[in-house]
């Protein structure tokens, strides 16, 4: 009788979870967590650099120059995107937390998050990145 053919090891541990095909909610959560941790990391840096304004203004200006250089602007755009996504999706969560009936519409809310994100985020990104072209020209 024809037996099955062996196809090698199945993923174990975290690998198992990566093969799970979650829906919008799981993606939303993964982004939310990643962006939250990212923004948190930046804010540690940011409080420190603000502190430098009093302690060592030259060092602050040096950092400021890095922030406004072309690679720095790219970073700031990413930061803004993370913060903005996190804020919008955070509101999506808070709204459901306080009105559980809205969970029935979590997909619709998820779409609203992305529409808002791009509608405001794209022009915003343009404003931040514009100087790069101007420098290049």
Partner 1 sequence: MSGRYSRSGRPRPVGSRVDLYVWYAVRISSLALFVLALAHFAMTHFVYDPADQSAEWVRQMRWSSVTLRALDWGMLMAVLVHGFLGMRTVLQDYVPSRLRRVALGILYALALALFVLGTQVVLTLKIG
Partner 2 sequence: MSSVELKIQRFDPERDAAPHWVNYTVPVEPMDRVLDVLTRAKELFDGSITFRRSCAHGVCGSDALMINGRNRLACKVRVEQLGKSISVAPLPGLPVIKDLVVDMDAFFGKYRSVLPFLVAEEPAGEGERHQTQEQRDRYDDTTKCILCAACTSSCPSFWAQPDYVGPAAIVNAHRFIFDSRDEAADDRLEILADEDGVWRCRTTFNCVDACPRGINITKAILEVSSAIGSRR
33 binds partner 1 (CB under 8 A): yes
Residue 8 contact partner, candidates partner 2, partner 1, ligand HEM, none, CB within 5 to 8 A by sort of partner: partner 2
What's the first-to-final CA gap in the chain, in angstroms? Answer: 73
Take residue 57 and report the two structure tokens written for it: 């203004």
Q: Which residues bind partner 2 (CB under 8 A)?
A: 1-10, 12, 16-17, 19-26, 28-30, 33, 93, 96-98, 100-101, 103-104, 106
| Shortest spacing between CB 9 and ligand HEM, in angstroms | 31
115 binds partner 1 (CB under 8 A): no
73 binds ligand HEM (CB under 6 A): no
Q: Please state the φ and ψ torsions of residue 12, each to the nearest 5 degrees.
A: -120, 170
Helix axes 106-136, 24-55, angle to 10 degrees: 40
32 binds ligand HEM (CB under 6 A): yes
81 binds ligand HEM (CB under 6 A): no
Gap between the Cα atoms of 84 and 92, Å rounded: 12
Gap between the Cα atoms of 96 and 114, Å rounded: 17
Residue 96 contact partner, candidates partner 1, partner 2, ligand HEM, none, CB within 5 to 8 A by sort of partner: partner 2
Judged by phi (left if over 0) then psi (alpha if -120 to 50, else beta), residue 69 lies in beta
Cβ count near 99 (within 10 Å): 9
| Shortest spacing between CB 23 and partner 2, in angstroms | 5
| Shortest spacing between CB 8 and partner 1, in angstroms | 29
């Amino acid at each position: 009788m024809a037996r099955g053919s062996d196809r090698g090891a199945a993923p174990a541990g975290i690998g198992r979870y990566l093969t799970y095909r979650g829906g919008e909610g799981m993606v939303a959560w993964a982004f939310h967590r990643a962006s939250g941790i990212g923004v948190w990391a930046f804010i540690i840096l940011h409080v420190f650099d603000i502190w430098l304004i009093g302690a060592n203004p030259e060092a602050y200006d040096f950092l400021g120059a890095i922030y406004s250089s072309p690679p720095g602007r790219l970073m700031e755009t990413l930061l803004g995107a993370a913060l903005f996504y996190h804020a919008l999706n955070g509101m999506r969560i808070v709204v459901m937390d306080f009105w559980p009936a809205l969970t029935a519409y979590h997909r619709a809310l998820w779409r609203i998050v992305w529409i808002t994100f791009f509608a405001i985020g794209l022009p915003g990104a343009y404003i931040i990145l514009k100087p790069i072209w101007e420098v290049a020209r």
